[in-house]
Amino acid sequence: MEGSTPAPPTVTNPAGLPRQVIEALRAAGTATRDIHVPPGTYRVAGFATVPSATTLTFDDVRIEMASSAVFLKTLPQTRDVAIRGRLAFVGNGSEFAAVSLNSSTNVSVELDAGVEGLALRHAFVTIDRCSGVKVGGTLGSRDSRLVAVSDSSGIEVSGVRAGPYSTDPGDGVVRVLSTGRFGVSKGVNIHDITVDGGNVLRTSGVVSVSANLGTPDILDVAVSRCAIRNTAGPVDAVDANRCQNVVVSDVSAENVNVGVAVIASHARVSRVQGARCRAQALAFGDPTWQSEDIADLLAEDVTALDCGSGFGSVAGAGVSVLHSPTTETRDVTLRRLVSTDSGARLQKYGLGIGPRAKNVLVESSRLAGVLGPMLNLAGPDQVKVRP
């Protein structure tokens, strides 16, 4: 039709992207590169490497993967990279990742990206042994993981707006892991995350920060401004396991397992709202996964409504202080809790305290449940309640 705008091109070549883009990425030298990928649909049959001192901008691009490789990657020792713009990413169910960052420093991924069709358990952005990486923008999916981090420090992740999920991607939507093979990981900041699990996410916590069993704890963890709902089975909204120096704030959790689960020492939790959680809105410690003593824990301004319906004893409460059979959870302050049953007769107790909990202080709180305000198995000498 006269005056109509031609459709953007569909391009296929060895790396999928326009030839001038590939040539610019491969160009030798240390000069700063500012490379734009023009609008279009690109069928990618091989990976492209992003070198140091490069800004790569996608100008409303659609990527369709045609191989099991990654789409973009950085090599070890790469630094000062920015990947940004607007991108639709369509996987073929076999690729490793979209963006793979490897032993790199000072990398920013700021994309407005819709993601679909990634291989099971693989993520849109993977970060391995990196330092100083920021992932942001707006990342969305209904079937794929989005960010997976391993053995890295100085990590910031934000802007996930995912779901409702139609299939389980096989692991957490945002997950930070330390294997312990490369020293201590520290400095993790996850914020502004919204996920609707569509009642199908059932494999792992939606937002999870954890070190492997028997390895050094992850240090200095912050999680804030998260709204997570509609998971299945034992899947929590926010997990911090085998960490130290943890701050969790402003979390809304509905129809999940645990809203916020903290198995960490020196932790501060504030402004958590949990509704209809199958377990607790907030749990310090865990009867199964806790592998070490934890201590110095504070929770303030936590609301739990109709939680704990899937469990009995001290886990059938809106808020619980828990532990495994061989560990202790001690020096816990709980302040301004509102943990109640609405009349739906789902929440058994306002607060549950396990037998190996030590030195628990409850202040200025309103607790109620179908079976009573509190189940305290630790005994009155370990729990103090103050108005």
pLDDT in tens, 106-131: 999 999 999 999 999 999 999 999 99
Does pLDDT of 311 surpass 50?
yes
pTM of the predicted model as reported, rounded to 2 decimal places: 0.94
Do the beta carbons of residue 24 and residue 52 sit within 8 Å? no
Question: Per the structure block, which two tokens stand in for 382?
Answer: 């370990």
Q: How confident is the prediction for the chain on average, in pLDDT?
A: 93
The residues, any chain, with a CB within 8 Å of residue 343's CB and separated by 6 or more, are none
Q: Give the lowest-confidence range in 65-69, 73-77, 171-175.
A: 65-69
Where is pLDDT greater, at 189 or 23?
189
Q: What is the pLDDT of residue 15?
A: 53
- For the chain, give the percent of residues with pLDDT over 90: 87
Mark 324-343 as b/e (b = at least 16 C-beta within 10 Å). Answer: beebbbbbbbbbebbbbbee
Q: Among residues 181, 217, 208, which one has the least CA distance to residue 292?
A: 217
Interior CA angle at 123 toward 98 and 32, to 5°?
A: 40
Residue 126, classified by CB atoms within 10 Å of its CB into exposed (0-12), middle (13-18) or buried (19+), is: buried
